[in-house]
A and B are shown apart, each in its own frame.
Chain A
Amino acid sequence: AQSVTQLDSQVPVFEEAPVELRCNYSSSVSVYLFWYVQYPNQGLQLLLKYLSGSTLVKGINGFEAEFNKSQTSFHLRKPSVHISDTAEYFCAVSAYGNQFYFGTGTSLTVIP
């Protein structure tokens, strides 16, 4: 079975500062990893995904994430955040033929 842990439920950060949102997963098989963003009162949209290949994945809006198999992590980073990045961020894991699990979410608040 797979599971996803997002270690921080809330992350406040000042505008133009860097941010890291942490995600750890557990799985007995190879997994596929995703980060989704949910802006207020909207559905989720994909930021980036890791299926295979390079462990550093670049996504939209300047976000990137690094897959670390030994630490079973997939942390999301952005070097300089904007007010518009304020949203809920979800890490998710899936394995072929199995289900899709979302983490509990991290609320990112960018402070002017």
Chain B
Amino acid sequence: DTAVSQTPKYLVTQMGNDKSIKCEQNLGHDTMYWYKQDSKKFLKIMFSYNNKELIINETVPNRFSPKSPDKAHLNLHINSLELGDSAVYFCATSAGALTYEQYFGPGTRLTVT
């Protein structure tokens, strides 16, 4: 079983569309994250949820909205997609606070045309 899974793996869409990326973990971890990795491999944390509550909300456009229906899922919804949103998005989980190892999903490559 994959510990942290993301769907879809690839997502190609046009500007202005709305899309969602799903993340599921079977590790029983309390904390989940979304990261954005740009074309230069720079990783930036976007959101962090602990027990379904938002604890980190970096300065990202409000077109990005995370949703955590339960502890095992953290989905990322993006409205009105722009060219600059093209990147690889990673979901990650950890057992607790930031001293704990983070487990990453395989990533979703989003291409906006």
Contact = CB atoms under 8 A, between A and B. Distances in A.
B60 interface: no
Say whether chain A's binding surface is mostly helix, strand, loop, or mixed: strand
B43 interface: yes
Interface residues on B, range: 20 to 34
B7 to A, nearest CB: 14
A49 B41 CA distance: 21
Contacts, number: 55
Interface string A41-59: 1111110010100000000
Interface residues of A, number: 25
Interface in B82-107: 90, 92, 97-99, 101-107
A95 B98 contact: yes
B45 interface: yes
Interface in A74-112: 88, 90, 94-102, 104-105, 107
B107 A49 contact: no
Interface of B: 4, 33, 40-45, 56, 58, 90, 92, 97-99, 101-107
Interface of A: 32, 34, 38, 41-46, 49, 51, 88, 90, 94-102, 104-105, 107
